[in-house]
Amino acid sequence: MKSIPENAISLMAATYREVFPEVNRQLNKWENLARSIPDPELRRQALASIESKRFHCQGGAVFALLAGERYQMAIRFIVAYQTISDYLDNLCDRSTSLDAADFHLLHEAMHDALSPGEKIKNYYALRKEQDDGNYLGQLVQTCQQVLEHISEYKQFQEQLLNLEGLYRDLQVHKHVKLEERVLRLKRWYQKHKHANTGLQWQEFAAASGSTLGIFCIVSYSLKHVVTEDFAKKIVDAYFPYVQGLHILLDYYIDQQEDKQEGDLNFCSYYASQEEMHERFHFFAEQADKRIEALPDTRFHLLVRRGLIGLYLSDPKVKDMPDETNLKQSLLYKSGVASRFFHWNAKTYYCLKRKQE
């Protein structure tokens, strides 16, 4: 990897040439391991998470381009960490449990993955299903092994753990009994409101649900010395607006599916479609302003524009009652790069459907 892409065409070329092949190799390895999980429910959820959420790893691994020649090591970390996230989300979403303590213990795996030297726990101790053949443990250890190669890791570990802690709390609160979820999320937001003025409770929750900031910091650290101050600068750039936009778009395309499944969807808590449109534009504008403080600004702006283009190309967007207005306005205001990513992704979906 010679240089960090600074335009949409070079970013897509590097993604297809270097990123996707390595992501697929890593995911194939984890998929093969998941097939040997002894417990049938854990095996089913592990395989389902890889099959249905593969694009999470593909999208997140774009940050590996920040790691230079060590991009494969960055991808190894990103795929393992995102696979933990997607697997645990499946275990909580389609859970045989509604126990907050169970969900919290499961997500200790994400904390331990960011803590080299931390021993693997029995993350399933509070649920019926137990034997995963050390699948989750190996994912955690893979992340730890990558981080052990970063000599300055302790300088920015706290920033990663802060992001992870928000993610963990969100997963706990949003998966308990249906009647408790919103109340718990609102109380949690009130504890953090002083530092997140201007956000609605569901927007704070959405921003907490993204792993992009973690991937950005780790990828940079594989090429550069990342100080505590630099890590804070990255967090300030990505949280809440880039991460919030990321997850709000994810919830936007899943509205119909979540309604059918009875799952909580943050987009449904806006007072109107008009308000939701305004807030999406606000998040995009604020994300761009925060990104200006980072080095490699053009790359980070491409990531932000890529989020718009990629998510709004999803076939599920056609089922949205307001899809034309929101899609067109976001793509127009985000410029040529977003429209390029949108066209590219739509072409990818068309080719994929023809192959199936």
**Both 91 and 167 in a single domain?**
no
- Output DSSP code: residue 120: P
**pLDDT over 70 at 215, yes or no:** yes
The parent domain of residue 42 ranges over 1-149
Residues 6+ apart with CB under 8 A from 319: 256
- What is the per-residue pLDDT for 351? 60
Which whole number is the average pLDDT over 290-296?
96
> Looking at 132, 149, 166, which one is the last position of a domain?
149
> Looking at 124, 149, 174, which one is the last position of a domain?
149
What burial letters (b/e) apply to 271-291, b meaning 16+ CB within 10 Å? eeeeebbebbbebbebbbebb
Element (H, E) at 62: none
**pLDDT over 80 at 350, yes or no:** no
Give the whole-number percent of the chain exceeding pLDDT 70.
Answer: 94
Which whole number is the average pLDDT over 244-271?
91
**Both 158 and 130 in a single domain?**
no
**Separation CA 310–CA 338 (nearest Å):** 8
| Cβ atoms of residues 341 and 307 within 8 Å | no
- Indicate the pLDDT class of residue 85, thresholds 50, 70 and 90: very high
**Both 101 and 170 in a single domain?**
no
**Both 171 and 309 in a single domain?**
yes
